[in-house]
Amino acid sequence: MARLAVTVILAALALVGSESAARAHVPTGCTHDGTDPRTYLDCLNARQKDSERKLARSVAGAQAAIDAREDLQPAQRRRWRALFEEAQSRFVQWRNFECQSIAPFEGDGAAHGVGGRLGGIGMLEQRMVCLITQNDLRVHDLEDRYAPAGGWPELPPEEAKETELAPAAPAAEVPPASAMPAGTPRIIEITP
């Protein structure tokens, strides 16, 4: 019985030690200790772009792996790929919502607010750390499921694309009306 108690206590201490080590671990590789906020945010920005590039590479690799499956009928490969693309789209939507709306409250930045609103470097830090972390988790997930034995080939930087949709092109400007419409204005009444 004493041996079991000692084992439980040692396991609890190991768990507490690993938890504090996990908190001390910087998932982004960027540290703000001893650097100015701009340098830290630049580091996070570079790391976030790199995680987007790796995610795009993994998505392209997974799609290529699906397309290369000769043991499936073409219709099965098309369906699998369409479902994969839908899953990736939903992941990006979830990730963006999680990192935009929830992550800012999770760090120390939520303690610093003005008029009830979050602001400052803490908010940006939490968003970027969230994006980096979620992208890295998705990359590892796709690699575990789809990557060939040697891993994915690296994409050239110009071929690496963002995983988010590009903004829509601005609408063509409508020329201003040259004159007021002719005729008597009509009033339409809607009664319940």
**Which helix (H) or strand (E) element contains residue 14?**
helix 2-24
Rounded distance, CA 138 to CA 51, Å? 10
The full DSSP string for 100-125 is IIIHHHHSGGGG-EETTEE-SHHHHH
Q: Are strands 113-114 and 117-118 parallel, antiparallel or unpaired?
A: antiparallel
Q: 57-66: buried (b, 16+ CB within 10 Å) or exposed (e) per residue?
A: bbbbbbbebb
pLDDT tens-digit map of 1-18: 556 544 445 444 454 444
Mean predicted lDDT score pLDDT of the chain? 75
Q: How confident is the model at residue 170 (pLDDT cuts 50, 70, 90)?
A: low
The residue among 88, 101, 167 whose CA lies nearest residue 135 is 88
Looking up tokens 């397309």, which residue turns up? Answer: 67
Q: Which domains does the chain have, with CATH numbers?
A: 36-146 (1.20.1270)
- The structure's pTM equals 0.64
Tell me the per-residue pLDDT of 61-100, one tens digit each, with 9 for 90 and over: 999 999 999 999 999 999 999 999 999 999 999 999 999 8
Place of tokens 């803490």: 122
Tell me the longest C-alpha to C-alpha distance in the chain.
98
DSSP 74: H
Closest alpha carbon to 132 in 165, 174, 163? 163
